[in-house]
C-alpha cells in the first residue's frame, strides 16, 4: 500500500480538473439565459447535448492513450510513450477533420429526429455548425490529456482544464454579451477555447520532446501491427461507450414519455448522479494510470491493493451523495428547484438513486482499472451483456406498465450486472500480467 500517497495526489488533481468543466458550462448557460429570447438557450442546450453524446463516444481516444502510455511508462519505454501519443493523435486528427467535412449531414440527422420549434432548431444549428469546427482540437485534446494522465503529469491536466474553461467563459462574454452573436457566439467561443487549449498543450510537449526525436519515430507510426493494436483497443472502448450512451439516452427518453413531473424528477435525480460521477471519474482516471503503470512494471502484487483502495473511495463518495439525498431530500432538491410539485414525491425514487450511485461508482472505478490494463474487450463484453440481460428486459416492462420504478430498476440492473461482471474478472488480473487487446504499441522494435 505504499502507493497510497501517490494515489491521493493523482486523485485530487484529477477530480479538480474534472469539476472545472461543469462550472464553465454553468457560466455559459447563465450568459445565454440572460438574453432577451429563451430560444437561444434552448437551441444551444439541444445542440450541446448532441455534440456531448458524439464526443462521449469518441472519448476512447483519451482512455486508450492513457492506458498504453501508462504501461509504457511502467516499462520505462520512452519510445512506446511517444508512439502511444502520436498514433492516437493521428486517429484524432482524421476523425476531427471527418466531423468538419460531415457536419452538415450529421446536423441534419441529429435535428431531424427531434421535434422542436423552428427558432430553437435555428439556434441549435448555428451553435452546431460553428462548434463543429473545433472537433480536431477537441479530439487532439483528448489525446493530450490521456498522454499527460498516463505520465502522471496531472498538474498540466489541471492547467489545461483551467486555461480552456477560463478562455471559454471570457470568449462567451465577448461573443454572446458584447458582440451579441447569441448561439453562434457560444459555438465560436467553444471552438476557439479548444484550439487555445491545444496550443498550450503542444507548447509543453514541444518543450519536453525534441522535434528530431519525433521525426525519427515518424516511420513507426505507419507500422501495421501498431495501427491494428491501437484500433482494436479503441474499437472495443468505442462499443462500450456507445452502449453506455444508448442506455442513458433510452432512460431519459422513456422517462420523458411518462409525463412532465416524472421527467423533471428523474432529471433532478440524475443531476445528483452526474455530480457524483465528476468525482468518481477523477478517481477512475487515477486508477487507470496506476493500473497501467503497475502492469508495465510487472508489479501484479500492487493491483489487488489498488482495486481495494479505489473501490473503497468510490463507495465512500456514492454513500455521501446518496446519504445526503436520503436524509435531507427537501434541502438537497430544494437547491435545484422551487417547484413543490416536483419535490413532493421525489423521495419514493431516492432508494433507486442510492442503489444506482453505489453500483455505478464501482463500475466506473473497475472500468478505469481494466482500461489501465488495456482490456478493452472486457469493457465491451460487460456493457453489452449488462444492457442485453439487465437493462433491456426491464426497460420493455417499464414501457408496458408505464412505471418509473421499473425504469429505475432497469438502470440499476445495468449497473449492478456490470459491477458483478467486472468483479468476477478481477481475480485473474491479480495472478499474472494479462495481455492487452492486441499487440502493444511499445512492443515495436
DSSP E strands, 234-382: none
Helices and strands per DSSP (H, E), number in the chain: 19, 0
The CA–CA distances, whole Å, from 399 to 2, 136, 342, 408, 439 equal 50, 39, 21, 12, 44
Q: What is the pLDDT of residues 12-23, one digit of tens each?
A: 988 888 777 666
The CA–CA distances, whole Å, from 112 to 65, 108, 153 equal 34, 6, 42
Q: What is the mean pLDDT of residues 112-126?
A: 84
Whether residue 294 contacts residue 302, with contact meaning beta carbons closer than 8 Å, is answered with: yes
* Four-point Cα dihedral 160, 165, 168, 174, nearest 10: -110
Query: What count of other Cβ atoms lies within 10 Å of the Cβ of residue 312?
Result: 11
Whether residue 13 contacts residue 157, with contact meaning beta carbons closer than 8 Å, is answered with: yes
Whether residue 435 contacts residue 78, with contact meaning beta carbons closer than 8 Å, is answered with: no
Share of the chain above pLDDT 90, in %: 69
Query: What count of other Cβ atoms lies within 10 Å of the Cβ of residue 26?
Result: 10
Q: What is the mean pLDDT of residues 166-190?
A: 93
Report the distance separating Cα 106 and Cα 120, nearest Å: 17
Query: What count of other Cβ atoms lies within 10 Å of the Cβ of residue 108?
Result: 10
Report the distance separating Cα 435 and Cα 441, nearest Å: 12
Read off φ and ψ for residue 403, nearest 5 degrees. Answer: -115, 120
For 275-299, give one letter per residue: b (16+ CB within 10 A) or e.
ebbebbbbbbbbbbbbbbbbbbeee
Q: What is the mean pLDDT of residues 263-275?
A: 90
Report the distance separating Cα 273 and Cα 357, nearest Å: 6
Q: pLDDT value at position 444?
A: 34
**Following DSSP, what letter does each residue of 139-191 receive, concatenated?**
HHHHHHHHHHHHTT-HHHHHHHHHHHHHHHHHHHIIIIIIS--HHHHHHHHHH
More confident residue, 119 or 26: 119
Q: What is the pLDDT of residues 72-83, one digit of tens each?
A: 999 999 999 999
Report the distance separating Cα 128 and Cα 114, nearest Å: 14
More confident residue, 373 or 49: 373
Whether residue 265 contacts residue 342, with contact meaning beta carbons closer than 8 Å, is answered with: yes
CA-based nearest residue to 438, from 296, 230, 298, 293: 230
* DSSP summary character for residue 386: I
Q: pLDDT value at position 66?
A: 95
**pLDDT-based confidence at residue 260 (cuts at 50, 70, 90):** confident
Q: pLDDT value at position 434?
A: 58
Query: What count of other Cβ atoms lies within 10 Å of the Cβ of residue 1?
Result: 10
Report the distance separating Cα 51 and Cα 149, nearest Å: 24
Q: What is the mean pLDDT of residues 307-320?
A: 97
Q: What is the pLDDT of residues 200-240, one digit of tens each?
A: 999 999 999 998 888 888 778 888 888 898 999 999 999 99
Report the distance separating Cα 391 and Cα 382, nearest Å: 12
Q: In this structure, is the dihedral angle defined by the CA atoms of residues 279, 17, 238 and 442, taken in order, positive or negative?
A: negative
**pLDDT-based confidence at residue 336 (cuts at 50, 70, 90):** confident
Q: In this structure, is the dihedral angle defined by the CA atoms of residues 360, 361, 366 and 371, taken in order, positive or negative?
A: positive
Q: pLDDT value at position 439?
A: 44
* DSSP summary character for residue 390: I
* DSSP summary character for residue 388: I
Q: pLDDT value at position 172?
A: 93
Report the distance separating Cα 120 and Cα 205, nearest Å: 41
34 in helix, strand or coil?
coil
CA-based nearest residue to 255, from 269, 270, 266: 266
Q: What is the mean pLDDT of the chain?
A: 91
Report the distance separating Cα 385 and Cα 393, nearest Å: 12
Report the distance separating Cα 91 and Cα 432, nearest Å: 31
Amino acid at each position: 500500500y505504499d502507493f497510497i500517497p501517490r494515489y491521493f495526489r493523482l486523485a485530487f488533481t484529477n477530480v479538480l480538473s474534472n469539476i472545472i468543466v461543469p462550472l464553465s458550462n454553468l457560466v455559459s448557460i447563465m450568459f445565454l439565459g440572460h438574453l432577451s429570447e429563451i430560444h437561444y438557450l434552448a437551441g444551444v442546450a439541444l445542440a450541446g447535448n448532441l455534440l456531448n453524446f458524439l464526443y462521449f463516444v469518441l472519448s476512447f481516444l483519451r482512455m486508450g492513450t492513457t492506458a498504453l502510455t501508462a504501461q509504457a511508462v511502467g516499462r520505462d519505454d520512452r519510445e512506446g510513450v511517444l508512439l502511444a501519443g502520436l498514433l492516437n493523435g493521428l486517429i484524432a486528427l482524421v476523425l476531427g477533420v471527418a466531423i468538419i467535412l460531415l457536419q452538415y449531414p450529421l446536423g441534419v440527422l441529429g435535428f431531424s429526429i427531434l421535434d422542436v420549434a423552428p427558432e430553437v432548431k435555428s439556434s441549435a444549428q448555428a451553435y452546431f455548425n460553428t462548434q463543429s469546427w473545433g472537433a480536431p482540437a477537441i479530439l487532439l485534446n483528448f489525446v493530450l490529456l490521456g498522454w499527460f494522465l498516463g505520465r502522471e503529469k496531472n498538474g498540466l491536466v489541471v492547467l489545461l482544464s483551467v486555461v480552456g474553461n477560463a478562455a471559454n467563459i471570457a470568449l462567451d462574454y465577448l461573443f454572446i454579451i458584447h458582440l451579441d452573436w447569441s448561439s453562434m457566439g457560444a459555438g465560436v467561443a467553444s471552438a476557439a477555447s479548444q484550439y487555445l487549449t491545444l496550443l498550450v498543450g503542444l507548447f509543453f510537449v514541444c518543450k519536453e520532446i525534441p522535434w528530431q526525436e519525433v521525426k525519427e519515430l515518424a516511420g513507426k507510426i505507419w507500422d501495421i501491427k501498431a495501427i491494428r493494436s491501437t484500433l482494436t483497443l479503441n474499437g472495443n472502448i468505442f462499443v462500450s461507450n456507445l452502449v453506455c450512451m444508448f442506455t442513458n439516452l433510452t432512460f431519459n427518453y422513456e422517462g420523458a414519455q411518462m409525463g412532465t413531473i416524472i421527467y423533471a424528477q428523474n432529471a433532478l435525480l440524475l443531476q445528483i448522479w452526474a455530480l457524483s460521477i465528476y468525482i468518481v471519474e477523477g478517481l477512475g482516471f487515477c486508477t487507470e494510470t496506476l493500473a497501467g503503470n503497475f502492469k508495465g512494471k510487472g508489479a501484479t502484487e500492487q493491483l489487488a491493493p489498488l482495486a481495494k483502495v479505489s473501490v473503497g473511495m468510490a463507495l465512500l463518495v456514492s454513500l455521501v451523495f446518496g446519504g445526503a439525498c436520503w436524509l435531507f431530500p427537501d434541502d438537497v432538491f430544494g437547491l435545484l428547484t422551487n417547484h413543490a410539485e416536483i419535490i413532493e414525491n421525489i423521495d419514493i425514487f431516492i432508494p433507486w438513486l442510492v442503489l444506482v450511485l453505489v453500483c455505478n461508482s464501482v463500475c466506473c472505478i473497475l472500468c478505469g482499472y481494466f482500461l489501465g490494463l488495456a482490456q478493452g474487450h472486457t469493457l465491451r463484453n460487460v456493457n453489452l451483456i449488462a444492457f442485453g440481460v439487465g437493462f433491456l428486459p426491464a426497460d420493455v416492462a417499464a414501457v408496458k406498465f408505464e412505471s418509473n420504478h421499473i425504469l429505475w430498476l432497469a438502470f440499476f440492473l445495468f449497473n449492478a450486472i456490470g459491477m458483478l461482471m467486472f468483479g468476477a474478472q478481477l481475480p485473474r488480473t491479480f495472478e499474472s500480467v494479462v495481455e492487452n487487446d492486441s499487440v502493444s504499441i511499445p512492443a515495436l522494435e
